[in-house]
Structure 1
Amino acid sequence: MVAVTDKEIHIIKNGNVTSPHGFSAGGLHTGIRKTKLDFGWIHSDNPATVAGVYTLNTFQAAPLKVTKESIEKDNKIQTVVVNSGVANSCTGKQGMSDALEMQKLTADKMNVSTDHVAVASTGLIGVPLPMDNIRTGIEAMTNREHYSPANFATAILTTDTVTKHMAVQIEIDGETITIGGAAKGSGMIDPNMATMLSFITTDAVIDHESLQKALKHTTNQTFNMITVDGDSSTNDMVLVMANGQQNNSVLNESHPQWNDFLQAFQYVCEGLSKQIARDGEGATKLIEVNVTGAASNETASQVAKAVISSSLVKTAIYGSDPNWGRIITAVGYSEQPVDPDKVSVSLGEIAVVESGLPVDFDENEGKQYLENETVKLNVDLQDGPYEATAWGCDLTYDYVKINASYRT
């Protein structure tokens, strides 16, 4: 259990997108990829209130456009269908036609409104969607042998090495509210989302406007605070579905337990974000950068992003080299109002800089700390009350190998 205000979050062991009432999910292999599962779906028993955030990349893929347009009609989604292996991005009119067909065929198969189907794709850019494989997957969506949240979590992966999923419960209005999620992402991950898909489900009753505000606020503190390599993709989205199958009073900002719901929701988003960062291509370590004492939220966030995005910091962590100069350098080029004479830095509990000046520390102790699987870099700007946290991973030889041969 995790304390949240006067409530507690219960973490569900092996929790997933089907942990909330009224959701099912599945996946199978259609031949888009050589051997791995490559087609998956989430389905709600009833149309769910939906909220979404999307990549800021100018080149937005066809499925993302189709999904955005559908959601804008009545803010409801009942089925999400996803393929991996091919992104259906930079595919022109044919790409839009294929995404629309994928949506329509899914709606017919699942007996739902076409506008209540969200489509998503991830994989190679500039390759037409293999529609025969997509049709095979859609035709199998009602076959119960393919129904499994584990199948779905696997089917959406590309270069990921592990599935990413979790779920929690919290009591609201005497009802047990469940929030579950699944995500994919391993490379091309940078703040403001990249090659990242995340799907979150809840059985809470919540209005669209409040859900959208909650997602936007939470994304800025979680999914937009992770990085692997600084690249941003064309297909990223986070979708949240709330099917209202519990009997709580409608959640919004005036609800007395709104903050309880927000913190449970953020717990799931942060958990998925950290799983993505930890599974960066070739990664061996999760890096957490905590910035405190900032003069504004923007300064705290931008400094944290600068440090977590630094290739020199990431390679130093990989080599377990306590080279704090790289951290200071990243803080300095963050383009934020930082007073160099106030900045302090520590590697976990090991102080290495105080008020802008180096501190004598045991290099071997520093090296041993950086050999941990989770490394925390703490930066205190000593200039205000604001703070932020960003997550990323080390940069390794394997990252180069994976991306040098991505298409071969």
Structure 2
Amino acid sequence: MQLVTQTKVTELPMGSILTPKGFRAAGVHAGLRYSKKDLGMILSDTPAQCAAVYTTSHFQAAPLIVTQESIASEGLIQAVIVNSACANACTGDQGLKDAYQMRKSAADKFNLKELHVAVASTGVIGEYMQMDKIEEGIKMLEPGNEALHSEDFQTAILTTDLVMKKCCYSAVIDGKTVTMGGSAKGSGMIHPNMATMLAFVTTDANIDSSDLQLALKQVTDQTFNQITVDGDTSTNDMVLVMANGTSGINKLSPDHPEWDVFIEMLSKTSESLAKQIAKDGEGATKLIEVEVSGTKSDDDARMIAKQIVGSNLVKTAIYGADANWGRIIGAIGQCQSAIDPSSVDIAIGPIVMLKNSEPLAFSEEVAKEYLSNAFIQITVYLHQGEGKGKAWGCDLSYDYVKINASYRT
């Protein structure tokens, strides 16, 4: 399935996870970090149909185990409780008990069924939760639906992020306005196989959990799965979507005549959050987009695009504004899909550097000027078929090493 490119969906630049009807949020400083907010919640007025995708790491963190159990029970989630500063990963039985306790405490505070609460954590791996502070923090949560409540939540889930990541879109379905908002965190340990870091999407669409799961998996393969910062996969990656149905539209499914509009809205939301995560990669100065076409399949194109954008040699060349297209060739050469090495086109921005595998003369000065921009596009055409795909990443700078050399301190 290709990302839908219709124009039936409208971006709402001032919107957030609280723009869809029937959602509230909060974020507080529970003391897990020195001074920043570190505990947040999204709360739906009614139980919402839910879908999620998770990291494929063998070391899935305790919160993911608890959340998967909650969603599997009825497909419904009414609240998600999220903490930063501690991943609650590789923490054994105690970590699992703490994740269950977070779920119970949130349920008790807001009079919810325990299985209607999802749990997420992010931060340092291998440290136990400070449950006394978590418990007190949950008591302080007072969700609301104003812009400041959304900002409080978004701030509470950040770790090494420099900026908040959010977006919002609307569309008309069944003659009624449907809205979708997204919030995410992530800037390092991003090379997912099912999801990426933490992303939360709210919508007032009416859709069953099973159909929502189908849509999310399809869209994730083309958005969140197509970003990479450093080639490392986190233990806590998760994308979670809540749909509470308050828009009043008929129930969406693949048979609904406007199903494609919903897919477009979810695609745009996911792609926006994914690109914001890639742009805010630790120490990053540039967002890189790689577009590959002319492959035998879309899967091949996406794989090759991600191989290129994930190459440390490509990333460092972009950082140094060095138009070394040989590094792009090197990345393509490592891919598992069949490549005809005699028919490859490569361009960096508007500058074509390779045509049918023959080098073309270009101005190093013009190329360097282009590579000094904050957004860099690499295009590759392989002359083998109709497949196409994109991937996003960032450059690799000195600051990435500095940030990760002292992450715990």
TM bucket, shorter chain:
over 0.9
Gaps of 5+ in 2: none
1:404 counterpart = 2:405? yes
Equivalent in the alignment of 1:370:
371
Q: Deviations over 1:102-126 (max 9, x none)?
A: 0001001011100000000000000
1:313 counterpart = 2:314? yes
Which residue identity is paired with 1:238? V
* RMSD after superposition: 1.4
Q: Deviations over 1:46-86 (max 9, x none)?
A: 00000000000000000000000111010000000000000
1:176 counterpart = 2:189? no
CA, structure 1 residues 398+319, in 2 after alignment: closer, same or farther (shift >3 Å)? same
Q: Deviations over 1:304-335 (max 9, x none)?
A: 11101100000000000000000011001112
Equivalent in the alignment of 1:192:
193
SS at match of 1:142: coil
Residue correspondence of structure 1 range 183-332 to structure 2 within 5 A: 183-192=184-193, 196-332=197-333
SS at match of 2:256: coil
Equivalent in the alignment of 2:62:
62
The question of whether the paired residues in 2 share the 8 Å contact of 1:5 and 1:260 is answered with: no
Segments of 4+ in structure 1 off by > 2 A? 4-8, 142-147
Equivalent in the alignment of 1:138:
138
CA, structure 1 residues 361+31, in 2 after alignment: closer, same or farther (shift >3 Å)? same
Residue correspondence of structure 1 range 44-63 to structure 2 within 5 A: 44-63=44-63
How far has the Cα of 1:13 moved from its partner? 2.1
TM-score, normalized by length of structure 2? 0.97
- Decide which moves more: 134-143 or 200-209: 134-143
How far has the Cα of 1:5 moved from its partner? 6.8
The question of whether the paired residues in 1 share the 8 Å contact of 2:25 and 2:143 is answered with: no
How far has the Cα of 1:296 moved from its partner? 1.1
1:159 counterpart = 2:171? no
Distance 1:391 1:255 in 2: 32
Equivalent in the alignment of 2:119:
119
The question of whether the paired residues in 2 share the 8 Å contact of 1:193 and 1:233 is answered with: no
Distance 2:311 2:356 in 1: 22
The question of whether the paired residues in 1 share the 8 Å contact of 2:305 and 2:389 is answered with: yes
The question of whether the paired residues in 2 share the 8 Å contact of 1:181 and 1:272 is answered with: yes
Distance 1:152 1:118 in 2: 15
CA, structure 1 residues 299+206, in 2 after alignment: closer, same or farther (shift >3 Å)? same
Which residue identity is paired with 2:122? T
1:387 counterpart = 2:388? yes
Distance 1:363 1:182 in 2: 40
Equivalent in the alignment of 1:149:
150
Distance 2:84 2:225 in 1: 22
The question of whether the paired residues in 1 share the 8 Å contact of 2:206 and 2:248 is answered with: yes
Which residue identity is paired with 1:71? I
SS at match of 2:282: coil
SS at match of 1:407: coil
Q: Deviations over 1:177-196 (max 9, x none)?
A: 00001000000011426761
How far has the Cα of 1:133 moved from its partner? 1.1
The question of whether the paired residues in 1 share the 8 Å contact of 2:196 and 2:224 is answered with: no
Distance 2:104 2:154 in 1: 23
Between the aligned residues of both structures, percent identity stands at: 53
Distance 1:24 1:144 in 2: 5
TM-score, normalized by length of structure 1? 0.97
CA, structure 1 residues 82+209, in 2 after alignment: closer, same or farther (shift >3 Å)? same
How far has the Cα of 1:143 moved from its partner? 6.8
Which residue identity is paired with 2:282? E
Distance 1:280 1:191 in 2: 14
